[in-house]
């Protein structure tokens, strides 16, 4: 509501407040949205490390949009050291659901990696198991 200004005036600070409440309860959509707000500095100070915290929580539950965003952060080194292995792993996971943008991004990252890095990213992606949090349905 507050994020998009649907039926109420748009208010990013209020949106961040409510997303945080839901995110702390384990809702992956709210975790992702809070990550976006930190990533973009909407209603809260821009903080890539905090964005990674929230994207990681949602990505661990299998949220492909958070997996993609983590891949971009690691691939570009936004607020963290650039890490093509992590970027590749997250892009591969996001692309496995059919996300064409993530597949293109994965291929772009792959072109910059050594064979042993690609193999490491493949192993990490294969070992990943989504773990939805207990509690209310997402």
Cβ atoms of residues 55 and 40 within 8 Å: no
In 55-105, DSSP assigns E strands to: none
Q: What region does 26 belong to: left with phi over 0, alpha with psi -120 to 50, or beta?
A: left
- Rounded CA-CA distance 33/66 in Å is 9
- Rounded CA-CA distance 23/39 in Å is 15
Return the domain boundaries, the chain.
1-61, 64-129
- pLDDT by residue for the chain (138 residues), tens only, comes to 556 556 766 778 888 988 999 999 999 999 999 999 999 999 999 999 999 999 999 999 999 999 999 999 999 999 899 999 999 999 999 999 788 999 999 999 999 999 999 999 999 999 999 887 754 544
1-61 in CATH: which number?
1.25.40.10
């Amino acid at each position: 509501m507050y994020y998009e200004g649907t039926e109420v005036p748009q208010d990013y600070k209020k949106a961040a407040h409510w997303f945080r409440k839901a995110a702390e309860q384990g809702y992956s959509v709210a975790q992702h949205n809070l990550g976006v707000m930190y990533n973009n500095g909407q209603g809260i100070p821009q903080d890539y490390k905090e964005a990674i915290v929230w994207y990681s929580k949602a990505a661990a539950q299998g949220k492909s949009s958070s997996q993609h965003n983590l891949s971009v952060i690691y691939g570009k080194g936004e607020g963290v050291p650039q890490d093509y292995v992590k970027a590749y792993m997250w892009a591969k996971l996001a692309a496995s659901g059919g996300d064409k943008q993530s597949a293109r991004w994965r291929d772009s990252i792959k072109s910059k990696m050594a064979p042993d890095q690609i193999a490491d990213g493949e192993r990490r992606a294969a070992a990943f198991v989504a773990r939805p949090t207990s509690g209310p349905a997402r």
